Amino acid sequence: MAIPSYDALLQRAKQALPQALSTGERFQIPEAEIVVEGKTTILRNFLDIVEAIRRDPNMVLTYLLRELGTAGAQDGRRVVFKGKVTGQQVADRVKSYVDTYVMCQECGRPDTRLVKEDRVAMLECDACGARRPVKSVKKAAKVEEPPLVEGKVYELMIQDIGKKGDGIAKLDRYVIYVPGTAKGAIVKVHIEKIAGTVAFGRISLE
């Protein structure tokens, strides 16, 4: 029986490689395309990102929502988040996901598959054959709203009265002046202006 030549063996090995490996293309993740519309943020190319990293869209979306600390849903090839999210925040979370659930720690390639073994998620690399359990990286900071926001209404207790007769309330690091209030009263206050750690509001009728 004739022994296959080196060239034949090499060609056979190339044919056995996954497509992403055999092309030799550099692994690139599309940059997040973010558009803010009112009180929502749209990630326009969500599916492009998912297809680049070859993972389940539902799994990626669940991870992003958890790490961003917000709600959202897939709408075709895009995702609509509630609230304002920046492109950098999305990019950081996508990178964290890729580092944890895509990249092989042995050879540094993205040619991996997620498999379940005894209820443990394992990452198998088609490039080098390495296998490892998936361990979440340190949780990214959530998108947090400041404790006081202009235009919002807060229920506050008037703790003191200022020199000009305005009521004074406190929330977190903020001192809030509210005209027409009495010490000890609990009122709903519409925040009109914030300057540093000082805020000015009025009684809300909501």
User: What pTM, to 2 d.p., does this model score?
Assistant: 0.55
Instruction: List, in order, residues 6 or more apart from 168 with CB less than 8 Å away.
Output: 158, 159, 160, 161, 162, 175, 176, 177, 178
Can you tell me the distance from the alpha carbon of 183 to that of 167, in angstroms, rounded to the nearest whole number?
Answer: 7
| Predicted local confidence at residue 12, as pLDDT | 63
Q: Which of 77, 101, 133 is the last residue of a domain?
A: 133
Instruction: State yes or no: pLDDT of 185 exceeds 60.
Output: yes
My answer on whether 119 and 187 are in the same domain is no
Phi, psi of 187, rounded to the nearest 5 degrees: -135, 160
Look up residue 22 and give its amino acid: S
My answer on whether 128 and 187 are in the same domain is no
Can you tell me the distance from the alpha carbon of 2 to that of 185, in angstroms, rounded to the nearest whole number?
Answer: 96
| Domain CATH code at residue 111 | 3.30.30.170
Name the residue range of residue 13's domain. 7-20+28-133
**Tens of pLDDT, residues 86-96:** 889 999 999 99
Tally of domains in the chain: 2
Q: Which of 99, 133, 167 is the last residue of a domain?
A: 133
Helix ranges (DSSP H) in 78-182: 87-101
Q: Which of 133, 165, 189 is the last residue of a domain?
A: 133
Instruction: List, in order, residues 6 or more apart from 139 with CB less than 8 Å away.
Output: 67
| Domain CATH code at residue 171 | 2.40.50.140
Higher pLDDT, 61 or 11: 61
Reduced DSSP (H G I as helix, E B as strand, rest coil) percent helix, strand, coil of the chain, to 5? 25, 30, 45
| Predicted local confidence at residue 143, as pLDDT | 54
In a domain, residue 145? The reply is no
My answer on whether 13 and 95 are in the same domain is yes
